[in-house]
């Protein structure tokens, strides 16, 4: 998955800011952080799927309204759900406060200790010091040193504890981000993960001349399944089809639930003939499956899928290759279903 970080140097950020602001002020949406995030990533050029969709939406002088801007943000930029982000943010702020407090404590103690050492130095340099007084000075300095050592030791322990919490937070954030890319019903990667992955393949095709293919898969007569057996069984069918699709691919191939009863398979370095073979194998696998209902022993067969296949062409936009695969899918549907069609 693509893991974006804003690591551009300040001068480049300033350029992106000016460009983003220019685009923002031309839209029908408000000028706010969400709008800025969308247009910053657009002008930075790193979020290819976002850029492709914005280019399509703004073609012929189109403008982004508030709803569309927020949708683009949620689809292409937002990585974790608000509740998880809020929890992680609260924990991180608490850790930062503890670290800041510990640092302040050390600084204060070090300042006091330094002042006392300076005072001792001044007393020792100003005149001859009698032995009893010298002993008192040494004793006080020793006790101050012990206190300073204890303070540093205590703060080190707290900082180590804070570091452990930071490591746990980092792992939690990674887990939440990973979950945000997974479809909760099927365990496959979701629409957002699909957009990220196809963006990676598009970059490889555009920059290194590599090719890839896409298969769009749809469950046949899914509404009839839902109406006849209920939505719980419909969910069971979606999960079963998702498992069959996952079993039908290998290696770096990507399987995701694109939405509803529709799935997408991305095949890196695969041409049309090979992609058709994968789609046909998946179609056969699903057609041969039998799914048992939850409340009785009835086994339901005749669950089938249709698929459309397209291979990326040199210079072709992301949206175009998907649309060609989708058009092939509809030809398969109109041609009788339970079949695979390739794009023109």
* Active site amino acids: 261
Q: Which two tokens stand for residue 129?
A: 């010091």
Q: Which residues contact 40 (CB under 8 A, 6 or more apart)?
A: 16, 17, 20
Instruction: Return the residue matching tokens 């009835």.
Output: 298
Do 275 and 267 form a contact (C-beta atoms < 8 A)? yes
The residue among 93, 101, 109, 90 whose CA lies nearest residue 159 is 101
Within its chain, how far is the Cα of 181 from the centroid? 6
Residue 26 belongs to what H/E stretch? none
Q: What would the two tokens of residue 213 be?
A: 């293919």
> Which residues, in sequence order, are bridge partners of residue 215?
265, 309
In the numeric block, the tokens 């002008």 are attached to: 43
């Amino acid at each position: 998955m693509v893991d974006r970080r804003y690591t551009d140097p300040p001068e480049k950020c300033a350029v992106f800011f000016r460009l983003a602001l220019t685009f923002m002020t031309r839209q029908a949406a408000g000028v706010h952080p969400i709008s800025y995030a969308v247009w910053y990533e657009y002008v930075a050029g790193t979020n290819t799927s976002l850029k492709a969709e914005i280019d399509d939406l703004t073609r012929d002088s189109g403008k982004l309204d508030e709803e569309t801007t927020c949708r683009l943000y949620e689809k292409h930029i937002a990585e974790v759900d608000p509740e998880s982000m809020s929890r992680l943010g609260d924990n991180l702020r608490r850790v930062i406060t503890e670290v800041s407090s510990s640092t302040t404590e050390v600084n204060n103690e070090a300042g006091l200790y330094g002042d006392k050492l300076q005072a001792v130095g001044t007393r020792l340099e100003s005149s001859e010091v009698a032995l009893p007084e010298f002993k008192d000075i040494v004793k006080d300095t020793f006790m101050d040193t012990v206190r300073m050592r204890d303070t540093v030791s205590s703060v080190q322990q707290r900082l180590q504890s804070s570091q452990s919490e930071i490591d746990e937070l980092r792992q939690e954030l990674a887990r939440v981000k990973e979950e945000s890319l997974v479809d909760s019903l099927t365990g496959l990667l979701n629409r957002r993960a699909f957009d990220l992955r196809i963006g990676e393949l598009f970059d490889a095709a555009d920059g290194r001349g590599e090719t890839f293919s896409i298969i769009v898969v749809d469950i046949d007569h899914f509404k009839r399944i839902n109406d006849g057996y209920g939505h719980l069984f419909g969910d069971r069918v979606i999960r079963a089809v998702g498992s069959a699709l996952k079993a039908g691919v290998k290696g770096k191939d990507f399987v995701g639930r694109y939405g509803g009863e529709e799935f997408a398979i991305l095949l890196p370095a695969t041409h049309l003939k090979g992609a058709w073979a994968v789609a046909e194998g998946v179609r056969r696998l699903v057609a041969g499956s039998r799914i048992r209902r939850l409340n009785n022993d009835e086994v339901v067969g005749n669950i089938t899928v249709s698929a459309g296949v397209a291979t990326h062409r040199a210079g072709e936009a992301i949206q175009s290759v998907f649309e060609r695969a989708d058009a092939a899918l509809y030809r398969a549907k109109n041609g009788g279903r339970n079949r695979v069609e390739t794009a023109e």
